[in-house]
Structure 1
Amino acid sequence: MGTSKALLTHGDRTFVECTVAALREGGCEPVLVGLVDPLGPEAAAARRAGAELLAVHDSSPGPIASLRAAIAAHPSAPAVAVLPVDHPAVRPATVAALLAEHAASGAAIVVPEHEGRRGHPAVFDRSLFAELTDPALQGGARTVVRADPGRVRTVPVDDPGVLLDVDTPQDLARLAAQANGLAGQADAGSAAEDPPARDPKAR
C-alpha cells in the first residue's frame, strides 16, 4: 500500500482515527491502540482521537500482540472489543449493538453479521482472556472464534463496513466508492425532504 495502514485516510480522518472513533462512540472506554513505535505518526494520530497507547515490544505473534497488551493492561475488564485498523468504515452503532448483546446474553464471543457473512469487530468476554493470552495459541484470535461455534453469538447489522478489510489499493478504491455512494444517498434524501418549519422564537 506504500504507507502505514493506520495513516491511510477515509474521509477526512486517518484509519486509526476512524477505528478509535467507532469504538469510543460505540461505548468502549478506554480505547487502546497497540504500537511498536509509541513516538511515530501513528501514535500522534491515535492520541488525537483520544486513544490510550500501548507499547507492543514483540509484534512477531501478529495482530494478537496488541490484544494481549490490552488484556495485560486491563485484566479485570468485563470484555474486550477488537477492531483491526484496516476496517475504518465500521459504524459506532455496530459497536454499540455488539456491546449490548454481550451485556444482555453474556456470550463468550459476539461478532457482527452482514448479508450472511461475519465481520469485525469482535467482542471477547473476560472468560476467554487466558485462552487469548496463551503463548501456545496458534492462529491468533481467529482460532479462538472457530474453536467452539456454540459460544459465538452473531448480531445482524446493516453495516457493510464490518466486511470491508482494506488490504490492497483495490480495497481502498472500494472503500472510497462505498463512501461516495452513501454520501450520494444522503444528498438525494435531503433534496427530497421538505425543509423543516422554523421556530419563530429561534435566533
Structure 2
Amino acid sequence: MTARVADKAEGGAGLGAGPDLRGRRRRRTAETIRRAALDLVRRHGLEAVTVEMIAEAAGISLRTFFNYFKYKEEALLRPPMALDGAEAEAFAAGRGSLIDDFLALIATHLEDAAPDRAEIAMIMRLAEENPRLLAVRERIFASYENAFRGLLARRLGRAEDDRETRLLSAVIGAAFEVAMNRWVAGTAADSLCEELRETLNALPRLLAEAGREGANGAG
C-alpha cells in the first residue's frame, strides 16, 4: 500500500464517520505503524531504524506518522489502556473483593491487547539500553497508575491524593509489574491474567506473615 493510499484510508473516517468508527480506524492505523516498527527493529536493530523506514513499511506518510507518534521509540509501544467504560464503572461502584474486581477490570483489556511474551521481552530489553524508550515505557505505566488511582478513589470515597489511595494504587501497580516481569521471563503461569491473580492474592498472606514475624520479634 502506498503512503497516499494509506493516508486516504486514514482520512476515510471523515465527515460521514461517527466517533466510534474514527476511533477504531485510528487504533488500526496505530497498530499498523507499531507492527511495522517492531518488524523493522527485529530485523535491523533499534538504532538502525528511522522514522522514514517505519512510515514506508506501514504505507503512510511522515505527516501521518507524526500525527500518531512523536518519535520511533514511542511507536514500539501500545498506547495506554483506556480504563473507562462499563468495566471501569463496575469497578468504581464495586463493594466486593478489590482483587477480583481489579482482575475483572484488567482482564478485558489484556484479552483485547493479546500481549505477546517475546515482543514484550524484546521491548523490555531494548528499554534497558535506550533511555528514550525507557522513559516512554515508564510514562505509560504511570498513566495506568494515575487512571487506576482515580477509579480507586471513587470506589473508596477518598481523594486521589489521599495516603491510603496512593499507597493501595502503588502496591497494585507494583504487583502488576512483578507479574509482568515473571510472565515475560517464563517463570510464571502461561496466562498473564493468571499470574497477576496469583501475585495479587499473595499480598494479604505476605502482609499477615510479616505481621506475625514482627510480633514474634517484639516478644
TM range (shorter): 0.3 to 0.5
- Tell me which of the two structures has the higher relative contact order, counting C-alpha pairs closer than 8 angstroms and 6 or more residues apart: 1
Would you tell me which structure has more helix in proportion to its own residues? 2
Rg larger for? 2
TM-score normalised by structure 1 residue count: 0.32
